[in-house]
Amino acid sequence: MNIPLNSILNLTEERIENSKIELNMNDGKTKEPFIDRWLDRPEDERAAGLAKRCSYWTWYRPDRRNFREGNWVFSFMRLHRQDEWLFVSAAEIVDTPEYGSENGYATVRILETYAPLFGRLIINLHKGNKFSLYVFRLDKFLGEATVKEILPALYTGEAFDGYDRVHLPYAKLDRIFRREIMSSYHDALESVTGVYCLTDTRTGKLYIGSATGEGGVAARWGSYLDSKHGGNKKLRELYEREGEGYFRENFEFTLLEYFGMSYDPQKVLEREQWWKDCLDTRAHGYNDN
């Protein structure tokens, strides 16, 4: 049986009428998922519902406010699974800045009643085709929102959900390898060899590589995090030209094929060459052999 969200929030009709819901997905300018931004904030901020640059942006456009003083706001962020949202904060709006102010975020008073659920409550909710909007009247969605689960501790990232779904931006991979989030990912990547793709999202260029040695894919990808170029000629040239920040901001890691640690390394290398040929990464990417 589905549990209605309001069985947890316990709001009166009068309070619902003066409340808003934030359904944050991606930053409109940088396209960064808000959930990744939230995960990058210190744990004490996340637990307190005060993660910076994550909630309570005041203005949608010059003639349309998101909030007014006295509104209660319930802030959710979409997980990397469709229609699943993490409850990250709840607050009363105390003050709002003028449009165009350097700090466009509202001043808030956290609703401490809900603090034990920050970063732990996950709901199911279909937002629909409203991708440019992030703030709505609470009554628009409250009747549809149901509780999926309440985590035993603060959310730290996605659990490993299969080798055929490994696709990670540089910054997120770095946090995984520093054991800050999603610890099961590193263990999983350490247990397989495979063929992978590095994507330069700014230019669209690809690099195809393989991991066949001890430590599997984790060891090979770790070398990119350490050196940025992994010893590859064209990637080294890019690093010398653009610097470390370019890789952090623009590179993504994808596992194309995976094999057991005892799988014949020569066959892994053959598959690497096959992918290079298919994607023509010697002529139009970063491969040089």
pLDDT tens track for 146-162: 999 999 889 988 778 78
Residue 249 binned pLDDT confidence (cut-offs 50, 70, 90) = very high
Give the pLDDT of residue 221: 97
Statement: residue 74 has pLDDT above 70: yes
CB contact at 8 A, 91 and 49:
yes
- Give the three-state DSSP class for 65: strand
Give residue limits of the domains in the chain: 3-150, 163-284
Give the pLDDT of residue 12: 96
Structure tokens at 198: 């590095």
Q: How many residues does the structure list for the chain?
A: 289
Give the pLDDT of residue 99: 85
CA angle centred on 114, ends 65 and 88, rounded to 5°: 60
CB contact at 8 A, 90 and 20:
no
Quote the percentage of the chain above a pLDDT of 90: 75
Alpha-carbon distances, residue 241 vs 145, 244, 247, 255 (angstroms): 49, 10, 11, 27
d(CA 152, CA 46): 15
**End-to-end alpha carbon distance in the chain:** 57
Contacts of 233 (CB under 8 A, 6+ apart): 288
In the chain, alpha helices (H): 6-9, 13-17, 34-39, 43-48, 138-141, 170-177, 183-189, 216-227, 233-242, 244-250, 265-279, 281-284
- For residue 256, give the H/E element and its range: strand 251-260
Alpha-carbon distances, residue 208 vs 20, 172, 279 (angstroms): 46, 20, 9
Structure tokens at 249: 């901001």
Statement: residue 242 has pLDDT above 90: yes
Statement: residue 132 has pLDDT above 80: no
pLDDT, the chain, mean: 92
Residue 182 binned pLDDT confidence (cut-offs 50, 70, 90) = confident
Statement: residue 106 has pLDDT above 70: yes
Task: From 25, 140, 142, select the one nearest 88 (Cα to Cα).
Answer: 25
Statement: residue 130 has pLDDT above 70: no
CA angle centred on 241, ends 235 and 246, rounded to 5°: 70
d(CA 248, CA 169): 8
Statement: residue 97 has pLDDT above 80: yes
Q: Which of the listed CATH numbers 3.40.50.10490, 3.90.550.10, 3.40.1440.10, 3.40.640.10 matches domain 163-284?
A: 3.40.1440.10
Give the pLDDT of residue 50: 95
Per-residue pLDDT reduced to its tens digit, 203-239: 999 999 999 989 999 999 999 999 999 999 999 999 9
Q: Which residue has the higher pLDDT, 208 or 80?
A: 208
Give the pLDDT of residue 67: 92
Task: Estimate to the nearest angstrom the gap between the alpha carbon of 199 and the chain centroid.
Answer: 17
Statement: residue 129 has pLDDT above 80: no
Type of residue at 106: A
d(CA 276, CA 270): 10
Residue 262 binned pLDDT confidence (cut-offs 50, 70, 90) = very high
Per-residue pLDDT reduced to its tens digit, 11-44: 999 999 999 999 999 887 777 889 989 988 889 9
CB contact at 8 A, 25 and 34:
yes
Average pLDDT over residues 247-251: 95
Task: Estimate to the nearest angstrom the gap between the alpha carbon of 140 and the chain centroid.
Answer: 26
| Region at 215 (left for phi over 0; alpha for psi -120 to 50; beta for the rest) | left
DSSP labels for 92-110?
Answer: EEEE-PPTT-S--BPEEEE
Structure tokens at 211: 């991991």
Per-residue pLDDT reduced to its tens digit, 52-67: 989 999 988 888 889 9
